[in-house]
Structure formats: C-alpha cells, structure tokens
A and B are shown apart, each in its own frame.
Chain A
Amino acid sequence: MAPKTPPWQDPDAIPLVRIDGVTRHFGDVYAVDDVSLDIYPGELFSLLGPSGCGKSTLLRLLAGFERPDAGRLFIDGVDVTDIPPYARPVNMMFQSYALFPHMSVEQNIAFGLKQDRMARAAIRDRVGEMLTLLKIEQLARRKPDQLSGGQRQRVALARSLAKHPKLLLLDEPLGALDRKLREHTQFELVNLQEQIGTTFVMVTHDQEEAMTMSSRMAVMEAGRIQQIGTPTSVYEYPANRYCAEFIGAANLIEARVIEHADGMVTLKPADWDGELVMAQETPLVAGTQVTVALRPEKVRIGTPPDGAGGRVRGRIEDIAYLGDISIYHVRVPDGPRIQVTQTNLVPRAEQPLTWGDEIDLWWTHRGGVVLLS
C-alpha cells in the first residue's frame, strides 16, 4: 500500500475547519490570542495544554457558545462566525456530558433529531442505530441518573453523533472516567472515529491521551498555539522549550553555537567542558545561545563510542524504579541533573548501578533537538 500524503502536507487539500486569526478576550485576559489553524476532514485533532491555556475557549468558539472578538471561523467553506450554535453543522460532547436529566437515554439521543423536524420513524431508526453503534441498546429507557460514568459517556457520544455532524467537538471526553476505563475508551473512541469518518476536535490536558489518539495536535499556552503537528513530530521535534517540557520529559542543556557545517552544529555546553555535535538542518550563527532538548530515553549509559553526539560524566543521585523502566538522576559536577530512563532488562537486584556511582552518559547526533526559544 502506497503511503498516502496526509492532507496537511497536501497543498491541494481543502480544510474542513479554518480558524483565521481568532481572538477572544475576557477583560484583560486573552483566552485565545490570534490563533490560526486548519483542520482537515477525517482528522482526530487534539487541542492540548494546561488548564487556562484557552483550548476550551477555542472549542466553544467552534461550537458557537463564544463569539470571537477578532478573526473568522469557517466550517466546510462556510463562514460560521455569526451563526448561532443551533444552526451550526457541529455537535459537541460536553465534559460534564450535559445529559438532560428528565429524559431517558432514547429521548436524549432523539433530542437533536427532533429539532430537525425529522419523521418519527426516521428518528426511531437513527436512535436505534446510535444505540447499537455505542452498544447501549439495553440502556435505552434508563434515565441519566441510573447510568454509570462510562455509560453516560457513551450516551453523550451517541447524542452528539446522532445528527451526523460535519464536526464533532469533544471537551475532555475521557476526563471524568477512571484510569482503567480511560485507556480502554481511548482506543474505542479512535476506532469509532475511523469507523464513522467524522472529523473530531478534542480538548485535553492529558498529553498521553493526545499522543495515542490524535492525527495531529496543537500545543497551546496562554491563548497561543506553540506548535501544531503529528504526535511524533511534536515529541521528536519540539518547537521550543515549552513544548519539549510539556510533552514528555526533557533534559534542557544550555549551550552556545561554535560552528555549523554539513547539517551538523557544534555546540559548547554551558556547564561542562567538551563539545556537542547535533544534527541541525537550518544554519545557526556562531555565538547563538541555544537549548538542547534531550529526551531521557535517548540518553545512554556506558562508554561513549567514537562519533557520539555528546557525552558527559556524572554521579547517580537517585534511582526511581518504576517496574518496566528505571529513571536515573545523574548530576553533572557543578552542572545540571540529567534524567536517563532505561528499560529494566534484568531484575533490579542484578543491576550493577547504584547510588553514588560515577557513570558515563552519551547520545547520538540525533538524540537531541536544538531549540532557539
């Protein structure tokens, strides 16, 4: 099977959602600050960020509950900026689910269909379809207060999908579920999305959730988008320090550029003698202050081979044993503490490393990313 060009790399692809310079502020607080973003049909797009970063406001702008102070919103080529929520081809699954407590599961799912003046028989068929799709047929006549959290989540999903929206907005869809159920539901949600093909835009503060589920994600901070990309690209090539630290763990090493040649940059780390040689496409001027983001799993323990991208010696300060992996905190003399993760291939008792050991760390040219901000 030939790999298909993803739509965001295809200049001819037409986005389903176009957010064009949208700003929304509440008093002095800019919840969404000049955000532009294209989302393509069939994507499962995540808005990721800590609470208060504006991701929920952006979702509410798409739903129509908030109106932008500046900028325009387009859905399927139509300018929806001035269209009220009830007239948008968009449905939302609320974080609290917002099921109508006085209606049964069936009535909840049928609510949106009734607003479209659909024929009674057609409504019944569609409700049945949704009940089957989400495997909640036996709950049809229950009231929301007779359902468990996981069941309510399914009903909310069924209700928001019943009208065949062009775009489904999900506000922390798994936030109210306990951990075990959440992991299971992540995959179910992705499978469901692939099955029905609806475009999903999901808000989450959980980077793991965004990583496992999304086609692409936007990392937000203080109302601005810090980076847009696939989970892999955001993880492997964070755009700045914020993204590097928000997604996964990262060791940040301050350094100064010595020279750039042949796609390699030579750096002088601020805290120890020696040189780092990292892969770097865009040229950098000598003397520039940069930060190298080094993922803990890309740092290796042992004697560095010739041609390693970087090396440093340090003392083990702490070992966190997590079962599958161990995290070593290694202090560089008068320098930073570097986190290293290693898979526990042999039982803990047989591992030779212990507190206070002096060890060598090294990484390859591609083990870290040079960040300018």
Chain B
Amino acid sequence: MKAAGEGSGLHGRNGRRLVIGLPYFWLALFFLVPFAIVLKVSFSEAMLGNPPFAPLLQTDADGMTALHLNIDNFLLMFDDSLYYGALLNSLQVAAIATVLCLLLGFPMAYGIARAAPRWRLPLLMLIILPFWTSFLIRVYAWIGILKPNGLLNEWLMGIGLIDQPLAILHTPVAVYIGIVYSYLPFMILPLYATLVRLDLTLLEAAADLGARPFTSFLRVTLPLAKPGIIAGCLLVFVPATGEFVIPDLLGGPNALMIGKVLWTEFFNNADWPVASAMAVLLLVLLVGPVVWLQRSQWDDADSDGERS
C-alpha cells in the first residue's frame, strides 16, 4: 500500500485525499455546520424579530464588542418539569420500545436466518416491504386500526371477546404499538445479518459437550449475536427517543415526548433558543451511550479481523 502510494507520486496522493476527503466534506457541510448553528442559537436569547433570537456578538453603545453566552435555555431544561419530564418520558418510551423490538425481532430474525436459503430473501422482503409506503400513511393507517370504531375493536367485538371498544388510540399503548411497528425492521435487519453468519457447527459443538438447546442459545448464540443486538438497539433507541410523528398522531395529549415539545417550541412558541438547547441536550445524552456501544462493537470487530 505504502510503496504503491509513493510510486504513484503527488497526483495519486492528492487523488486519494480527494476521495477520502469528500465524505468528510459532506459530513462537515450537512452535519457539523447545521449543528454549529443550532449550538449557537441555543446560547442566544430569545427575542421578537426575524430571526427570533439575539446575536451572540453584540456591540454596545461604547463600540465594545462582547460575547453574550446565555445558558438560561439549558438551565430551563432542568428547571421546568415540562422539559425534563418530556425528556425522561422520551428516554423511557424509547427504552421500553427498544426492548419490545428486541423481544419481537430476535425470534423473527432467528427464524429467517434458520429458514431454508431460498426462503430467506422473500422473508426479508416482507420485512422491508412496508418501507415502500410513506411512513406517515402507515402511521395514519394505525389510527384506522386502533380507533374506537376501528378495525381492531370491531374485530374483537365481532368475535365476542369484548362488548365495549377498547380505548387504545391516544394512549401510551398506541405510541408503543406505533414505535415498535415502525422500527422493528431496523432491529431485525442487523440481527439477521449476524445470526445468518453464525457457524452452526458451534451449536453442534455445544450440544456435543453436553449443553441443552437453551443453554447453547444462552452461551453461544446470544453472545455471538451481540454486535447485531447492539446495532439493532441503537438503530431503534436513538430515533425513537426523538420521535415526533408517532406520539403526535397516536399518543394522548398528556404524554409529552421531547420531539413534540421541541416542535411546539419551534413552531408554536417561536422560541428557537430553547428548542435548540433541547436539541443539543438530547444529542449529548444520546452520543454518550452510542459512543460507548460503538466502541465495544469495534473491540469485537478487531478480534474478528485478526482471525483468518
């Protein structure tokens, strides 16, 4: 690699820099810059006007330019139960939804990975198929299913299981149903990817050494599926925490999630600095576990790489 790089000279090296640099440029332009703007706004003071916040650098009457960093927006987060309540509620809903997705998704991914090879692709297609319809329409469809005179209640009453419609829509249950339904594929796909690569002779070896099927599952399958479990949980937990559409359409008016509060601050109250502070806080809270989990996954990947 190195020798080839030296051989191809300046031109080749620049070419490589360009190729490596492009994704970084992309990330900087569309992630770093917007985040910097949000960060800047979060330290500003709200005011009436356009834009609805005060600049950070202000020149006073004496011609002195001073930097005004306003941390009130952040303090407000911890002061008003509306904000930290919504945040805690979001984390709780996302965590429970992630666990539900895992409990539901693992058997499904396992089933697909163990199916005859010719069945795997059709089964995966069934998992991915809903993505071909608009997310919003699919969530609306759940309203039709869950509402008091909706499909579910009519069916349950039709078979005589209940005689009064269940109040599911606009309850936390509806939010969980919506989130689990929407994010289940993100759990199944990475789980499937690790489970399908699992060497089945390892399970035979475990059985040969006296492990019953359930022990083999706990001691061999589950630890080896860890990378997929971590990836799946991240892919569900992170977006579910900031989820806005599902609680707004399916949830009740009381169950505030951070995404909905954020929306209200931005568009109803026009308090951009508070909304930005919430966004920054959410990011910081989510980045921690993501980095930690990613690192533990990289450690696994490292030892994978050495094996050959």
B-to-A contact residues, CB < 8 Å: 199, 201-202, 204-212, 215, 219-220, 223-224, 303-304, 306-307
Distance in angstroms from B308 CB to nearest chain A CB is: 8
Inter-chain contact A94/B209, CB cutoff 8 Å? no
Contact A163 B210 (CB under 8 A): yes
Report the nearest B residue to A88, measured CB to CB: B208
* Of the residues A86, A96, A100, A143, contact of B208 by C-beta under 8 Å: A86
In A100-135, which residues have CB < 8 Å from any B CB? 100-102, 111-112, 115-116
Closest 7 interchain pairs by CB?
Answer: A145-B307, A112-B209, A115-B210, A98-B205, A98-B201, A85-B207, A102-B223
Q: Which A residues contact B (CB, under 8 angstroms)?
A: 63-65, 84-87, 90-92, 94, 96, 98-102, 111-112, 115-116, 143-146, 159-160, 163
Bound state CA distance, A91 and B304, in angstroms?
Answer: 27
User: What residues of chain B lie closer than 8 Å to A84, measured between beta carbons?
Assistant: 207
Q: A85-B204, A98-B201, A100-B202 are in contact. Are A112 and B210 (CB under 8 A)?
A: yes
Query: With A86-B209, A112-B209, A145-B306 given, can you name 8 additional A-B contacts, CB distance below 8 Å?
Result: A63-B204, A91-B209, A101-B224, A102-B223, A102-B224, A111-B209, A115-B211, A145-B303
Which residue in chain B gives the minimum CB-CB distance to A171? B201
* Bound: A208/B222 CA distance, A: 42
A115–B209 contact, CB under 8 A?
Answer: yes
CA gap between A160 and B208 in the complex, in Å? 9
Q: Is the CB of B306 within 8 A of A146?
A: yes
CB-CB nearest in chain A for B300: A102
- Please tell me if the beta carbons of B204 and A100 are within 8 angstroms of each other in the complex: no
Contacts of A63 in B (CB 8 A): 204, 208
Q: Are B211 and A111 in contact (CB under 8 A)?
A: yes
In the assembled complex, the Cα of A159 lies from the Cα of B303 at a distance in Å of: 22
Q: Pick the contact of A94: B201, B211, B223, B303 (CB < 8 A).
A: B201
Residues of B within 8 A of A87 (CB): 210
B307:A116 contact, CB within 8 angstroms: no
User: Does B210 contact A86, Cβ atoms closer than 8 Å?
Assistant: yes
What are 15 contact pairs spanning A and B, CB under 8 A?
A63-B208, A65-B204, A85-B204, A85-B207, A85-B208, A87-B210, A92-B204, A96-B199, A100-B220, A102-B223, A111-B209, A112-B210, A116-B210, A143-B303, A145-B307
Which residues on the A side are within 8 Å of B208 (C-beta)? Answer: 63-65, 85-86, 90-92, 160
- Complex Cα distance A92/B206, Å? 10
Q: Which residues from chain A contact B224 at a C-beta distance below 8 Å?
A: 101-102
Q: Which residues of chain A have C-beta atoms less than 8 A from B204's C-beta?
A: 63, 65, 85, 92, 94, 98
* Residue in chain A with minimal CB distance to B305: A145
Q: Chain A residues near B211 (CB, 8 Å)?
A: 86, 111, 115
Whether the pair A101, B207 counts as a contact (CB closer than 8 A) is no
Known A86-B211, A163-B210; contact A100-B205, beta-carbon cutoff 8 A: yes
B183 to nearest A CB, angstroms?
Answer: 27
In the complex, what residue of chain A is closest to B304 when comparing beta carbons?
A145
- A115/B215 contact (C-beta < 8 A), A102-B224, A145-B303, A146-B306 known: yes
A96 (CB) vs chain B CBs: closest residue: B201
Which residue of B is nearest A110, CB measured?
B209
Chain A residues lying within 8 Å of B201, measured Cβ to Cβ, are 94, 96, 98
